[in-house]
Amino acid sequence: MSDKVKEGIIKKINELSPLLISIAKEIHKKPELAFEEDFASGLLTSALKRHGFKIEKGVGGLKTAFRAAYTKGSSPVIGFIAEYDALPEVGHGCGHNLIGPASIGAAIALAKSGLKGRIVVIGTPAEENGGGKVILSKKGVFKSLDVAMMVHPSNDTEIVKRALAAIDVTVEYFGKPSHAAATPWDGANALDAMILAFNNINALRQQLKPDVRIHGIITNGGAAPNIIPAYTSARFLVRALEMKDAQEVLKKVKTCFNAAAHAAGVKIKIKVGENAYEAFRPNYPLAEAFERNLKLLGVKIRKWDEYKELGSSDIGNVSQIAPTIHPNLDICHKQIPHHTKEFNAIAGSESGMRGMLIAAKAMAMTGADIMMDAGLLKRIREAHKRG
């Protein structure tokens, strides 16, 4: 039974391939930045609608977010996540033009498989800038999903990859201006406080665990060299493998900021961003099911290295709510870094399209495994509970 269903899914995605490729290429040609992805979300939702999905636009208060559902029974609820935002200057240098079509291809093929359950596509704007999934998570958009799946195009195939929790923090120092040569003693130097803050943090680093990252930029460093700077500001990111560790480090970073204000005799304001990225919580039974399907499709997979080149992604927030996979799939076959013009070219190429179709097939086949095997869903749920 399982083999027949999977053969049907592969056949269906091959039939859908002209549509999926044309959507991926259209989105590639018209890159849209975070929260402005009207064209991409329109293309994806109209294809889903034509295939019998019920569409809800603007979910979670984001105009380019959507939920599309196909119902044939109430359980399980198989979720596919679509991203479609681009980057300034390098267009689809992260390949998100391939993520949406792969997810809707998987959803449509699974809907046509005749298996019982609910198939849901969540359209999630602004992965690159703004954390769309963080906002949607707070609005409860992922709560009903039994699993959430998406595949990210990459220069390597990695089934499970960790992502760091990341907290955004801004610091501002308020001093007193004065002529830097004539009356420097009348000033209070907000730039001195800022430089001390960076040095305090650099001193802190030796006592931090290796997974912690603290990095920042000065966004305002003063007006002119002959004026004692009265105002400075900086933006930092504090990251760690677990949110609770990032929170602990944040406390120490705040102490560094405050000590600097004290030393320089200036006032301080610290603002912690509301949309922190959660760490990625892996789900091994789900990831292993996906890996088996990817192998069935002939994809070669190296040994997993979950901790290689860690970054952060708003999929972390989804993974804390529902069992989630976010595998990387190699579309380059050589080392081309993300967020470059070269990766943008690959994301619009035949190799990108091939990867997108493989991603769609492997995700749909994994959805079918869960719909056909209650034991697998149980193992996925138990693993999620264990955390």
- List residues binding Zn ion (CB under 5 A): 94
In the bound state with Zn ion, the residue whose beta carbon lies nearer, of 200 and 324, is: 324
Q: Residue 345: which residues within 8 A CB-CB, separation 6 or more?
A: none
| Least Å from the CB of residue 162 to Zn ion | 15
In what helix (H) or strand (E) does residue 109 lie, and over which residues does it extend? helix 96-111
Q: Which is nearer to Zn ion, 93 or 285 (CB)?
A: 93
Q: Which is nearer to Zn ion, 94 or 163 (CB)?
A: 94
Which secondary structure element, helix H or strand E, spans residue 377, and what is its range? Answer: helix 374-386
Q: What is the DSSP letter of 233?
A: E
C-alpha to C-alpha distance for 190 and 233, rounded to whole angstroms:
9
CB 93 to Zn ion: min, Å: 7
SS3 115: coil
Nearest residue (CB) to Zn ion, 115 versus 149: 149
Nearer to Zn ion, 21 or 94 (CB): 94
Which residue is it, tokens 């991203």?
83
Q: How far is the CB of 178 from Zn ion (least distance, A)?
A: 44
Q: Please report how close the Cβ of residue 125 comes to Zn ion at its closest, in angstroms.
A: 13
Q: Smallest distance from the beta carbon of 99 to Zn ion, in angstroms?
A: 8
**Shortest reach from residue 272's CB to Zn ion, in Å:** 24
Q: In the complex, what is the shortest distance from the CB of residue 94 to Zn ion, in angstroms, rounded to a whole number?
A: 3
Radius of gyration of the chain (CA): 24
Nearer Cβ to Zn ion (92/384) = 92
- Nearest CB to Zn ion, comparing residues 151 and 201: 151
From the number of C-beta atoms within 10 Å of its C-beta (0-12, 13-18, 19+), residue 184 rates as exposed
Check whether the bond before 76 is cis (ω within 30° of 0): yes
Closest residue to Zn ion, Cβ-based?
94
The first and second tokens of residue 321, run together, are: 């709510």
Buried b (16+ CB within 10 A) or exposed e, 301-339: eeebeeeeebebbbbbbbbbbbbbbbbbbbbbeeebebe
Question: Of 166, 317, 359, 192, whose CA–CA distance to 264 is shortest?
Answer: 192
